[in-house]
Amino acid sequence: MPTINNASLNCASTANIGNGCGGYSSSGIYTCVAATNVNPGVACLPAFNPATVGLGTFNSSSSLFSGIAAPVNLEWESTAFWAAGNGTSTGTTPFYETFSNACPNQYAWQYDDHAGGLSCTGNTAFTVTFGQTLYPSFFTGQKNFNNGVWGLNLQNAFFGYYSLAQYPYLYSFGTGSVGLGWEYVYNANDAVSGVYFWDASLNSFLYTNPADFPYFYDFASSSWLWYYTGTARYFYEFGGQGRGLFFSPPPG
């Protein structure tokens, strides 16, 4: 029969049954319960009744499972006490404190949440979004106009309206019904929130950022292009191939 040092968990004897215990004894998550095959006959376990190990059954009313996943890991507990005694004897430091001191940002045992719901007061609400797409910071401040259409005001110009429904492909409507068309977006990951657009019509990567737009750097011609926003892809090239004002058909 293993002996568990429950004194540090506020479960020193059967007289403590029903008391809160564990790292957050006042939270009500763990309580001292009667236990067999352990000495002194008390264990610190999550306060579920019945204390089902594993998921248990699903409650459609609460949308929760009845189980508690697992009781305190005895091997972790024993290791922590041994570490508290410098590897030569069983220490007296609470096992959860040993783990928390060594790894303050990690979970040492079930419900070990230093920065989460246990410290919340008042009415607290959480919004969890699954499958959220993280767009480059170039698009910070974009406005959703519904029906999958976005708009973005940059420092010197209105980028226009566009769709991200097939991101990383972007379809630009410009400022009305015409714009850049299809562009493949790459995050430049630079300090100025830049992006690269692969433009199939120009067969080139175009670079811009919120401060430079409507200028694009054209890597194929090693030149800067001025994009006439609101037009069907009219550009003015500075240097490079000497194209001056030119039209580029939308990518197919």
229 in helix, strand or coil?
A: coil
**Regarding predicted confidence, which is higher, 207 or 77?**
207
pLDDT tens column, 216-233: 999 999 999 999 987 789
**Regarding predicted confidence, which is higher, 152 or 126?**
152
- DSSP codes joined into one string, 18-50: TSB-STTTTSSSEEEEE-SSSBTSEEEEE--SS
Residue 116 in this model has a pLDDT that exceeds 50: no
Residue 19: pLDDT band with limits 50, 70, 90: confident
Cα separation of the two ends of the chain: 75
Residue 3: pLDDT band with limits 50, 70, 90: very low
The CA distances from residue 45 to 55, 108, 145, 178, in Å, are: 15, 15, 51, 64
**Regarding predicted confidence, which is higher, 146 or 197?**
197
Residue 191 in this model has a pLDDT that exceeds 80: yes
Residue 244 in this model has a pLDDT that exceeds 60: yes
pLDDT for the residue 50? 46
pLDDT for the residue 64? 61
Residue 202 in this model has a pLDDT that exceeds 60: yes
Q: What is the length of the chain? A: 252
Report which of 104, 134, 136 is spatially closest to residue 207, judged by C-alpha positions. Answer: 136
Pairing of strands 58-59, 42-46: unpaired
Residue 155 in this model has a pLDDT that exceeds 80: yes
Residue 132: pLDDT band with limits 50, 70, 90: low
pLDDT for the residue 6? 45
26-41 average pLDDT score: 68
pTM of the entire predicted model:
0.50
pLDDT tens column, 36-91: 656 677 777 665 444 454 556 667 776 666 555 555 555 566 666 777 776 677 77
Of the listed ranges 10-14, 126-130, 219-223, the one predicted with least confidence: 126-130
Residue 21: pLDDT band with limits 50, 70, 90: confident
Query: Are 83 and 77 a contacting pair, CB within 8 Å?
Result: no
Residue 197 in this model has a pLDDT that exceeds 70: yes
The domain spans of the chain are 7-52+76-119, 137-247
The CA distances from residue 157 to 97, 151, 226, in Å, are: 55, 12, 12
26-33 average pLDDT score: 70
